[in-house]
Amino acid sequence: MVALESTIIAHGLPYPQNLEVAQELEATVRDAGAVPATIAVVDGRPCIGLAAATLEKLAKDGRSFRKAGATDLGVMMATGKNAATTVSATAVLAARAGIRVFATGGIGGVHRGDSLDVSNDLTTLAKTPIAIVSAGAKAILDLPRTLEMLETLGVLTIGYRTDEFPAFYTVRSGLRLEHFAGTPTDLANILHKHWDDLGNTGGVLVANPIPAEASLDERLITRAIDDALASAVSHGITGKALTPHLLAHLAEATGGGSVRANRALAKNNAKVAAELALAYTPTVEGRLTQRTLLSPYPN
């Protein structure tokens, strides 16, 4: 199984584009031979895999779904709320269900200009046994500090067919990676050694670059990011509202180019994640946990 987040559906894109992307990512996982599990909280109930009607409701009525990180889950469940799950919340719920592979666009990290503004994605990944396939961290972040924080937290970071940390919208960042793998089997072998043989309980970041043909011009995206950050400062936008603001600004500045790139890299990550999930066989304990926690359809 491959976990997929729901924030991109509820808060990342407008309808019907968000529904198209959600369906496309699930189809990509299925076409590769794995089972997709889009995760969300519906009426206070964590759902590991969404029925078609629920997926459409999430896309059409995203504003009624709160944006939930890992630390928000208990509140959402206790109060019976609807919530779209971010990277951290998706990772926690997926791991609880025994899923070991999760595909997303890019993880959160250390924000530019404020080394104390660190996404919960990093600390959650450090203590959650799941492999996240992403195009590195979001390009709006401080990538060198993010990579350093991953190392500090003990998160194993592996480049997939690259020895360089990808910069989300572009293939290269100039930041070298110590470890890399060339096939899903290579990645799966590393996961087995990391978790099953060594007993590590933390997560693994699989840094998978955007396909070269979808990569944006580095100068264009750098200028757009600088303008987006300046706009956020001038409007006093911080916290959970910051990333949506920056992404909307980038979409406008690039004439939709950033959205197309985001879609291409997310699909590529879903494909690689599915291939990894097939190559990695979870433990018996993990399969039993998955069987007991999966939400029955419909949700």
Nearest Cα to Cα of residue 72 among 44, 47, 100, 98? 44
Instruction: Identify the three-state secondary structure at position 209.
Output: coil
Helix, coil or strand: residue 182? coil
- SS3 (DSSP) at 3: strand
Coil, strand or helix: which one is 257?
Answer: helix
> Which residue out of 5, 57, 67, 271 is catalytically annotated?
5
Tell me if 128 sits within 8 A of 159, measured CB to CB: no
Distances, alpha carbon 265 to alpha carbons 81, 136, 201, 250, 268, in Å: 31, 10, 28, 16, 5
**Active-site annotation holds for 81:** no
Active-site residue among 67, 138, 267, 271?
Answer: 138
Cα of 171 vs its chain's centroid, Å: 17
Catalytic status, residue 138: yes
Give 157's strand partners.
205
Query: Whole-angstrom Cα distance, residue 264 to residue 261?
Result: 5
Active site residues: 5, 138
